[in-house]
Structure 1
Amino acid sequence: MDVASSASKGPLLVRYRGDERRVEVDVPGLGEPLFWESETLPFAALGSDFAALAALPAAMATARDLHVEGRLDSELARNLANISSFWAQWRPGVYSAIRISADELVEARPARCGEGWALCLSGGVDSTFALLDNAARPPGLGYPIPTGLFVHGFDYPLDRIDAVETLLASIRGPARFAGAKIAVVRTNWKTALCRQGPADWGHMFPLGLAAILHLFAGGHRGGLIASDCTFREDHEIAPVGNNPATNRMLSSAAFPIQPLGERTSRMDKIAGIARLGFLADVNVCWQGPRTGRNCSECDKCLRTMFLCEAAAIDPSPAFGRRLSAARLARMRIVSPSDYLFIKKAVSDYSPEADPKLRRAARIPLARFELRRAARVAKRLALGRPLR
């Protein structure tokens, strides 16, 4: 949809319906309703908070104010308006600052609807570390996490049922250690909104996670999202979707959302997981064939294998083999965050690790730097601002 012509079309009117097992949200302009299904843990949403979070990317991307049916927490409404301003400043012309409204705005009081917190759990490095590290903290310093929410429809398409069952078998090991039970939510949010729709997945996926967390707000004290980067890394590569500024704006007065793991680098997270004996249960592979196991060939797998090797940790339990210098040298680095992870691993390389791999890692780093320099030169030549 053309952003410039969308402002004249009036607010995006969002309606929802459903029960404790299936919920649907109608967002004008999408080809199908957004849906969420849960077989094991009943939904317990507080008003229309989840619907506002789910629809916000479409409103920002099409420059339309957002109006949701029903009751909306006033603090969340203010937070969502601030999120839209954040992205409008970071990506002008892509996103717009918008107004948020509802049939009824409610100044809710902080509530304790449950004794525990829900954590979004994918089986990757960040969420596995967040779960395990939180469980290992002294009493009173960690969050009580009785629920790990796995989203089927984000990393794995909805038709990959067998692969998801394989992946869930691995996730249950760390979950048992932490005293959490896994609840699976199936949704078409990513496909309808970010693949076929107007939003960018890399920017907007925390809103999709937050919408799911808010679907269970009536039974939990709050929600948790694992951080991708440290505070310093976020500052260096901003803006990224999963960031410490907007993640804390995903909260309502009754249901806070907090990030976990912002103080720990990716390599240190891997070391922490390995130290507790759960490296074999980590699955990072969404670029390969998506079988529920790591393919050990895609760039995401290779990057994680190198971080293991850089910390003098054998990646074989998770990836089935060690990493060769020749294969590492051919690895692609595409995103600034991946560049940062590899660069830091080279800088913090363990003296016990294979020095050939450290030398090999400098080759894809150099390729990334050359491409980045070429992009900068092109933008300067065209008179465009640097970002």
Structure 2
Amino acid sequence: MRATMTANSSNAEPGSRVTFGITDGETRHQVYFASTDMRLASRPEIEFVTSILPCMKKGRAFRAPAPLDPRLLASFEQIQDLYLAWVPGLTRLPAKAFESAAPRPRAGTGRVAAFFSGGVDSFYTLMKRREEITDLIFVHGFDIKLGDEALYRETLAMIEHIAGETGKNLIRLETNIRPVLDSYIGWDYGHGPALAATAYLLSDQFDKIYIPSSQDYTHLFAFGSHPLLDPLWSLSDLDIVNDGAEARRIRKVEAIARHQIVLDTLRVCWMNPDSAYNCCRCEKCHRTMIALKVVGALDRCRTFPEPLRNENIRALKIVATNTRSFMTESMREAERRGLEPAFIKAMADALKGQSTLQRFVNNLRRAISQPGRALAKIRRKAGF
């Protein structure tokens, strides 16, 4: 596997574009990162980190086009140790094949950035480190598809509002890297190197970049962004820090719900049917709505337009480890606070799972009580 990189910029334009190709046998992927807000650094570590997982998946050697940062190379074996433990079928790459470069000096600009999507984790890091963070990084092409312009424009407007209200500079980027990594290993594991590559592109302007943690120390699981993995992507001139793992999800929701800007703009949905900001139907919307209700903030949150219904909670299919841990945590907190028994029982039923008959009955009840929603679901499946 071989990658080549070119950087394109113009003195007449405020931003820049970095492109590189990753070739696997007869397949070549052209990848780009672009920003209209600032110049992007072109450095060999960008193609290196984005090629690690494809090479490990295909069992092919990677030939670095230039010497690599010594701090990243020192962490390379441990990075591979984690992925080999998490993902079956990967092959270890020889660390001795790469030449070490001299450490680069730090930017020394005093700027500190954090990745920001408008969700619970990124809001928690922003509010926790509001005095330290100077810039927010929003990447189109990570959780919002490049083709979904309606959702992107709505989300961007919200994040611009958030940046303005909190006094932060907003850095917008765009990339097509997600489908490339999806084709090899999937986004659950591939988004970690994608975050690292984005940070490297900005390394000329920052000494530290935060990645808001999607996990807490009590419930760690294999994932592309992880408290053990994220710091290993750091360079001699850039610290990459996983932030927020000390707080469980219900505590994060409780902390951020004190801020009206959060309740006016919070976005968590990853299904986004019909470009919905928050669909109020998917598992992630539901677990966030549940947590907001538990801490007494759901009725003040403007970005979940549909009510939270016990029958919808009961019908949730809980498969992912993190969903189960978040739901269990919310249920226990609801019990501790003495919330209504029917709400707590709905969570307990979802955690237990349902038989085929129970699922049919619950779906029928939902269709009767929410005919508009049922009809919309039928239309989506039929492609109307």
The two structures share one fold, judged by TM-score above 0.5 = yes
Partner of 1:132: 127
Q: Is the 8 A contact 2:107 2:203 kept in 1?
A: no
* Correspondence 1:135-146 to 2 at 5 A: 135=130, 144-146=132-134
Partner of 1:343: 328
Q: Is the 8 A contact 2:34 2:175 kept in 1?
A: yes
Alpha-carbon distance change, 103 to 202 in structure 1, aligned in 2, over 3 angstroms: closer
Give how far 1:248 is off.
Answer: 1.0
Alpha-carbon distance change, 369 to 189 in structure 1, aligned in 2, over 3 angstroms: farther
Which structure 2 residue ranges, 5 or more long, are not aligned? 10-15, 357-384
Partner of 1:16: 5
Letter in 2 for 1:18: A
Give how far 1:161 is off.
Answer: 1.9
Secondary structure of residue in 2 paired with 1:223:
strand
Paired residue for 1:364, among 313, 327, 350? 350
Alpha-carbon distance change, 246 to 102 in structure 1, aligned in 2, over 3 angstroms: same
Alpha-carbon distance change, 369 to 187 in structure 1, aligned in 2, over 3 angstroms: farther
Deviations 1:123-177 (A, max 9, x none): 1111122112211xxxxxx6x3222111111111111123211011222333234
Partner of 2:40: 43
1:302 aligns with 2:299: no
RMSD: 2.2
Partner of 1:115: 110
Deviations 1:267-323 (A, max 9, x none): 111121210112221111121326261111222211111111122222542202431
Give how far 1:32 is off.
Answer: 2.3
Give how far 1:110 is off.
Answer: 5.5
TM (normalized to structure 1)? 0.83
Q: Is the 8 A contact 1:284 1:301 kept in 2?
A: yes
Cα distance in 2 between the residues matched to 1:78 and 1:369: 50
Partner of 1:98: 93
Q: Is the 8 A contact 1:70 1:102 kept in 2?
A: no
Alpha-carbon distance change, 92 to 295 in structure 1, aligned in 2, over 3 angstroms: closer
1:289 aligns with 2:283: no
Secondary structure of residue in 1 paired with 2:273:
coil
Alpha-carbon distance change, 18 to 292 in structure 1, aligned in 2, over 3 angstroms: farther
Letter in 2 for 1:35: Y
Letter in 2 for 1:172: E
* Correspondence 1:148-297 to 2 at 5 A: 148-194=136-182, 197-234=183-220, 238-277=221-260, 278-289=262-273, 291=275, 293-297=277-281
Partner of 1:72: 68
Alpha-carbon distance change, 290 to 128 in structure 1, aligned in 2, over 3 angstroms: farther
Secondary structure of residue in 2 paired with 1:163:
helix
Cα distance in 1 between the residues matched to 2:37 and 2:274: 24
Q: Is the 8 A contact 1:69 1:102 kept in 2?
A: no
Letter in 2 for 1:215: L
Letter in 2 for 1:43: L
TM (normalized to structure 2)? 0.84
Q: Is the 8 A contact 1:285 1:298 kept in 2?
A: yes
Secondary structure of residue in 2 paired with 1:262:
coil
Partner of 2:51: 55
Partner of 2:340: 354
Cα distance in 2 between the residues matched to 1:59 and 1:36: 21
Cα distance in 1 between the residues matched to 2:126 and 2:33: 24
Alpha-carbon distance change, 15 to 50 in structure 1, aligned in 2, over 3 angstroms: same
Give how far 1:368 is off.
Answer: 8.5
* More divergent stretch after superposition (119-128 vs 353-362): 353-362
Alpha-carbon distance change, 173 to 286 in structure 1, aligned in 2, over 3 angstroms: same
Cα distance in 2 between the residues matched to 1:368 and 1:51: 46
Alpha-carbon distance change, 369 to 362 in structure 1, aligned in 2, over 3 angstroms: farther
Letter in 2 for 1:200: G
Cα distance in 2 between the residues matched to 1:335 and 1:369: 18
Alpha-carbon distance change, 96 to 178 in structure 1, aligned in 2, over 3 angstroms: farther
Q: Is the 8 A contact 2:209 2:238 kept in 1?
A: yes
Alpha-carbon distance change, 177 to 353 in structure 1, aligned in 2, over 3 angstroms: farther
Give how far 1:84 is off.
Answer: 1.3
Cα distance in 2 between the residues matched to 1:113 and 1:63: 39
* More divergent stretch after superposition (238-247 vs 336-345): 238-247
Partner of 1:384: none
Partner of 1:377: none
Partner of 2:375: none
* More divergent stretch after superposition (206-215 vs 344-353): 344-353
Secondary structure of residue in 1 paired with 2:23:
coil
Letter in 1 for 2:322: S
Give how far 1:64 is off.
Answer: 2.3
